[in-house]
Structure 1
Amino acid sequence: MTRTHDANPWFSEAPRLVAVRESEDWDLIVGHGPVIATAIHDGHRMRPSLIPHLAISEQERRRDEDPLTGMLTSAGDVRLRVRSSRFQVDLNRPRDKALSDDPADTWGIRFWNGRLPDEELALAHAEHDRFYAMVTELIDAQVARWGSALLIDIHSYNHRRDGAEAEPADPDGNPDIELGITTLDPDRWGDTARRFAEALRRTCVLGRPPDVRANVRYPTGGHFPEWVYANWGDKVCTISPEYKKIHMDEWTGQVDIQALEDFRNGMERAVAEVRGDFLP
């Protein structure tokens, strides 16, 4: 049988980073390029031994997770989505706070029925350790290959905490997309962050340009981007987009597909705008 080929081939063979160990803790797709996109609060899974200790319903738990943020990782060459609920292990907190029964660590909300068993805390710490060990190796490999890396640390946030029938929070303090950029080197990556934000603004969401601002709701960042900066400094540009949940009803969980696709289109456009900054 004779096979015909187009002038431009579809595939080539070249050395590249390959994941050799699978984990039940996360979904990881390793492509060839300097952009890492993560959704570390997307997951909802919780081990059965932890569920009886919850003081909230499954629906209440999901409301404070970041569902669907994993879909926005499509812009990354490396795509990482954590499967576990942030209430099983919060990877955006230090190890000793990864699972906490103190309401002071959970926005003043009482999520747990009293003190959690030591064995549950140990399991959370072990999961936290596995994640950070894997990400250390991953970023080391990316920086060695490309010289630098862009890390997109994707989250979402509630803006209707007063109730399903109450008015949403004031837009002045709640942009459609907040960019956390407190843990990047402004001298090296300030222009990159500016062009990234401008590309997001040029991509309409539900028929209008989105309100994109930096460091409004979360002026201090989170543990994950702070840890990245502490370990890799100006070699990694970390941008942490926080998407206001206008792509879903945070009380019912109903999704607005158009808004979600608009957010994803904007993310892909923003990454394409700055990708060249990370290529040797």
Structure 2
Amino acid sequence: MHKFSIPDIISNIKAEKTFEAVSADYSFTIKIDNYAPYICGAVHDGHQFRKSLWENCLHTAYDRWYEEDPCTKEMVQSHPIVIAGRDSRFEYDLNRAPETAIYEDAWGKNLWKSPLTSQEREESLAKHDNFYKVVHALIQKIETLYGKTIVFDMHSYNWKRWDREVPTWNLGTSNIDNDRFGSLASAWSKRLETMNLPNGIKSTSKINDTFQGNGYFLKYITQNFKNTLVLATEIAKVYCDEYEGTLYPEVVRSVEVQLKELIPLQLKEFQDNIT
């Protein structure tokens, strides 16, 4: 994987070059094997945490891992276009708008021993800004080529913290054009329920049950590109022990293999039904 500057990444996209790169500051990765009519994103996959922030942070590495979305890039890594964050959401959250992307506290616990300096904040927000410059160029290119795009926005969530039964999969659709795309979201939910997961894990799916799809990644794309559908797709962390920090690679692999079949089916339905 080559290290590219933001201008070089955007230049490659505009020229329709295939490439695989990590951004020059190592904050995100992008892979384009071919300019397919869909994109996979994993904005919370990252666990990196800038060393200059370590001593000032009250959360442990496990605290951060617990609220991140490990393996969500791995679940879609075999698809032709994949963009994924490498930095922890505790440094800056790509799924929040810039003005709220740096946490003061996180899940009821103060994050910093002392407030961040303006320089520290600016360094983090510059990475956030660069990521969205590339996202914009990428969506713009795919919409130009195909007239429409579908984005699979992959996340995970801690299901054991809920005091009720929750689904294996949750789709957040409150910020998409449901008059136009609602039936496609329902179809995606039904497809996810067909997964046959290892270890006796049931694959259930609901829409707007645990989360409603209020993330900035979805909102940014939806507000700027009217012919792009973003499917905010969350898997419960059945692929790990969220309390022990143990990953179950057989479950991650099973999800990856089955998404290789299900995503193209969803893409075809999108292409056939959206003009």
TM-score (ref. length: structure 1) = 0.84
**Aligned-residue identity in percent:** 25
Name 2:164's counterpart in structure 1.
170
Q: How many residues align?
A: 254
- 2:171–2:211: 8 Å Cα contact kept in structure 1? no
TM-score, structure 2 as length reference: 0.85
From the superposition, tell whether residues 133 and 157 of structure 1 become closer, same or farther in structure 2 (CA, over 3 Å).
same
Of 243, 247, 256, which residue of structure 1 is paired with 2:248?
256
Q: CA RMSD in A?
A: 2.1
One-letter code aligned to 2:39 = I
How far does the alpha carbon of each residue in 1:222-271 deviate from its partner, in whole angstroms, 9 at most, with x for none? 111011111112x1110011111111011222112232223223433321
1:186 to 178, 193, 201: 178
User: What's the offset of the Cα at 1:193?
Assistant: 1.8
CA distance change for structure 1 residues 256 and 220 in 2, over 3 Å: closer, same or farther?
closer
The corresponding residue for 1:77 is 80
Partner secondary structure for residue 154 of structure 1: strand
Q: How does 1:37-56 map to 2 (within 5 A)?
A: 37-56=40-59
Report if aligned partners of 2:37, 2:150 keep a CA contact under 8 Å in 1: yes
Q: Is the 8 A contact 1:157 1:243 kept in 2?
A: yes
Query: Structure 2 matches for 1:90-105, cutoff 5 A?
Result: 90-101=93-104, 103=105
The structural deviation recorded for 1:275 is 1.7
Counterpart Cα distance in 2 of 1:141 and 1:71: 24
Classify the secondary structure of the residue corresponding to 1:68: coil
Residue identity matched to 1:257: P
Q: Which of 203, 207, 210 pairs up with 1:214?
A: 207
Name the structure 1 match of 2:30.
28
Deviations 1:147-190 (A, max 9, x none): 111111111111234xxxxxx6421xx21110112232223322
Q: Residue 220 of structure 1: CA displacement?
A: 4.9
Q: Is the CA contact 1:177–1:210 (under 8 Å) kept in the aligned structure 2?
A: yes
Distance (whole Å) between structure 2 residues aligned to residue 18 and residue 25 of structure 1: 20
Report the 3-state secondary structure (helix = DSSP H, G, I; strand = E; otherwise coil) of the residue aligned with 1:52.
coil
Aligned partner of 1:165 in structure 2 is none
Report the equivalent of 2:112: 112
Cα distance in 1 for residues equivalent to 2:17 and 2:240:
35
**How far apart are the structure 2 equivalents of 1:20 and 1:270?**
24
> Which structure would you say has the larger Rg?
1
The match for 1:265 among 250, 257, 260 is 257
Q: Shift of residue 74 of structure 1? A: 2.8
Q: Does 1:130 align with 2:122?
A: no
SS in 1 for 2:123: helix
Q: 1:20 to 1:79 in 2, by over 3 A?
A: closer
- Shift in Å, 1:37: 0.6
Q: Which runs of 5+ in 2 are unaligned?
A: 1-14
Paired amino acid for 1:194: S
Q: What amino acid maps onto 1:222 in structure 2?
A: G
CA distance in structure 2 between the partners assigned to 1:258 and 1:55 by the alignment: 33
Q: Tell me, what secondary structure is at the counterpart of 2:70?
A: coil
CA distance in 1: counterparts of 2:124 and 2:204, whole angstroms: 36
Specify every segment of 5 or more residues in structure 1 that has no aligned partner in the other structure, as ranges.
Answer: 1-14, 162-167
